[in-house]
A and B are shown apart, each in its own frame.
Chain A
Amino acid sequence: MILALVVVTALAFDFTNGFHDTANAMATSIATKALRPKTAVALSGVLNLIGAFLSVEVALTVTNAVVKIQDKTGAPKAELLADGGSGLLLIILAGLVGGIVWNLLTWLVGLPSSSSHALFGGLIGATVAGLGWAGVNWSGDGSKLDGVVGKVLLPAVLSPVIAAVVAAVGTWLIFKITAGIAARFTEQGFKWGQIGSASLISLAHGTNDAQKTMGVITLALIASGDWSDTKNIPFWVKAACAVAIAAGTYLGGWRIIRTLGKGLTDINPPQGTAAQSGAAAVILASSHLGFALSTTHVATGSVLGSGLGRPGAQVRWAVAGRMVAAWLITLPAAGLIGAVMWWIGHLIGGIPGAVVVFVLLVAASVAMWLRSRAHQVSSDNVNDEWEATPSGPAPAGDSAAFHSDPVEADSVPHASALADVEAVVQAPAEDETDAAITDPAPVAAAN
């Protein structure tokens, strides 16, 4: 029963992982109209599906980078296996819930935060709650890049900078080289350049990210005694994860695509090509060298870099600052949600505890989905101008209000419907949300 909840929750996480990260590969291609929005998400979805099936080598030890719930072979720690592995299952469940809630919240405000950080944050929080501070692998044993510091924090600081430098240099050189050439050559040529590099990123994303969920589900299966092979994973797990991440990608996180493609800087095809190839090269090179980094951080850094490299381009630093703020709090915020979920599940205990945690997840997800309905972003309006123009009447307040604010900052219409505990879970994140999305200029324009 708990196992079933864990599997469903893990697939749900995989799904949010997909739609949260569509932007990384496709935001610039959509913004420059190299691909139509629907075509872009379809292409990315298919490539993610293929990529997920390509990952034969399975990262069963994926959690080892940050928490100590498995040994080196991937088998769960023996002391966690008492009572049908329910101790371990609860940690995984609470961690996944932390990751999903944080992914949805950042999607709601249109910020590209790292899905891997959300997952790791949730797992760290649940582990601290369940096993204490010593249960977390903070900085490894000093023999290689490892632990929370080495695998998560340092790469998160370095990767956007690296990607930004590469993309800035690429953009600058491209503009130097193609200066004075007829637009029919540059526009057409660079559109193909963008499509090619965006496809590489989608494929790499499918192989990397779907694996994490496959590893987590298989760990849960081993904990409950339904699977014992630490070298392989069941085929249905692989198929389910591949479909979940591809479906999520196809659904498209339009809010995030919009922020990355239109919000950060205005992108044209040569810039898009430079940004995407820079991101693809950095992602592939780092995974070749075993230097794990987040696709999201790289993609954002490279878009920023392409804005810096193009002479005369404007970078909206306020938007960039909001993203960095979101990155900084992703780990602790997802961790806090994971920890609170674990305590709730633990206090109630057993199957009812897990069910309550699951119900809370569903309630939080539905609440955030309902709030997102107020100002929808879809394939139709994803490319609208970022700044609302002050001239002209605001048409019915709807599309103009959308520019000001993805979410109304003042009202929390659905939170009251949730249980008290839920409010506690959301409270710290909610504060950040309100602070982050308040952008005075466009609000004034909308009014």
Chain B
Amino acid sequence: MHNLGFALDGAWRVLLAGLVLGAGLPVLFALGIRSLAWGAGEASVDASGVTAGTKRPLGTVLGYLLFAIVVAGVLLGLTFIVASGFGNKISFEHIYPTIVPK
């Protein structure tokens, strides 16, 4: 049963990549949303009426920064789809992704 070995070998790689990209990016996205919410501040209601929350620019900036990382991850995915359509693949040997022929 060589196939079982090959399959399990492939499976843990897919699981690892899936966890890093498939769970990691949404987590960053969620953190981004949390930062934005924090940056917008919390409104409070008391006897004198509604008080708008204090804005925290750091949170807003951090939030958009995290979104940018997520967008970069999505672009990497897009590049991969387009590149493999044209018979290329993405190589990570220089750490940053480069497109090389398959």
Contact = CB atoms under 8 A, between A and B. Distances in A.
Interface of A: 51, 54-57, 139-140, 142-147, 149-150, 154-155, 158-159, 162-163, 165-167, 169-170, 173-174, 177-178, 181-182, 185-186, 189-190, 193, 196-197, 200, 203-204, 207, 270, 273-274, 277-282, 284-291, 293
Contact of B15 (A57, A139, A145, A162): A162
B29 A200 contact: no
Given A162-B18, A277-B26, A285-B17, A54 B37 contact: no
A139 B7 CA distance: 12
B26 A193 contact: yes
Nearest to B32: A189
A273 B26 contact: yes
Contact of A185 (B27, B36, B84): B36
Interface string B21-37: 11101110111111011
A56 B81 contact: no
Contacts of A197: 74
Interface of B: 2-4, 6-8, 10-11, 13-15, 17-23, 25-27, 29-34, 36-37, 40, 70, 74, 77-78, 80-82, 84-87, 89-90, 102
Contact of A288 (B80, B82, B85, B86): B80
The 4 A-B pairs of least Cβ separation, nearest first, read A281-B22, A54-B85, A285-B17, A170-B23
A165 B10 contact: no
A291 B14 contact: yes
22 contacts: A140-B2, A154-B7, A159-B14, A165-B18, A166-B22, A166-B23, A173-B23, A173-B26, A173-B30, A178-B33, A181-B34, A185-B33, A185-B37, A186-B33, A274-B26, A281-B25, A282-B18, A285-B14, A285-B18, A288-B84, A288-B89, A293-B14
A174 B29 CA distance: 9
Given A162-B14, A285-B21, A57 B81 contact: no
Contact of A181 (B14, B33, B74, B86): B33
A154 B36 CA distance: 43
Contacts of B6: 144-145, 150
Contacts of B3: 139-140, 142, 145-147, 149-150, 154
A169 B29 contact: no
Given A145-B3, A158-B7, A278-B23, A54 B81 contact: yes
Contacts of A169: 19, 23
Contacts of B10: 145, 286, 289-291
B29 A189 contact: yes
A255 to B, nearest CB: 27
Given A174-B26, A178-B33, A189-B36, A155 B7 contact: yes
